[in-house]
Amino acid sequence: MGMVLNPGNSGFEEIVKSDYVDKTGLISLINRTIGTKQKLTCISWPRRFGKSYAAQTQCAYYDKTCDSQELFAGYSIAEDPSYGKHLNQYDVIYLDMTNILGKAEPKEVIEYIGNRITNEIHEAYP
């Protein structure tokens, strides 16, 4: 499990241990775009509105290196017809800028991200 490539489901697992408001319905919206021209999705909410929670939810659902079936049982996505088709079926790239900023000079952030992703992909797929 990498920090960028396929980070697993531990982030979402921690989230649901506290007061969690079910927002897994967003997954069904994304599932509908897979394989279409609308396949690129931008989750853009104001500061402090749960972008990281949404991203960690997506990681836990799509990441093929883990089994998240029990984790999503009881949430709205588990009732969606597309649930089983896409659950844990894909490689996921997760970028959390709070973990990246400060590790590279501002002018080098793009190169740092590119190198980080490339290294993890080469490690996973030699």
Helix (H) or strand (E) holding 60: helix 51-62
Question: What torsion, rounded to 10 degrees, do the Cα atoms 116, 90, 77, 46 define?
Answer: 30
DSSP 66-121: S--HHHHTTSGGGGSTTHHHHTT-B--B---HHHHTTSS-GGGHHHHHHHHHHHHH
Could you read off the pLDDT tens digit of each residue along the chain, which spans 126 residues?
568 899 999 999 999 998 888 999 999 999 999 999 988 887 777 777 788 888 899 999 999 999 999 999 999 999 999 999 999 999 999 988 877 778 888 899 899 999 999 999 999 999
Report the Cα–Cα distance between both ends of the chain, in Å, rounded: 15
Phi, then psi, of 90 in degrees rounded to 5? -135, 155
- The 8-class DSSP code of residue 63 comes to B
Give the span between the Cα atoms of 30 and 92, in whole angstroms: 14
**What does residue 24 show for φ and ψ, rounded to 5 degrees?**
-70, -10
What's the predicted TM-score (pTM) here? 0.88
Q: What is the pLDDT of residue 92?
A: 94
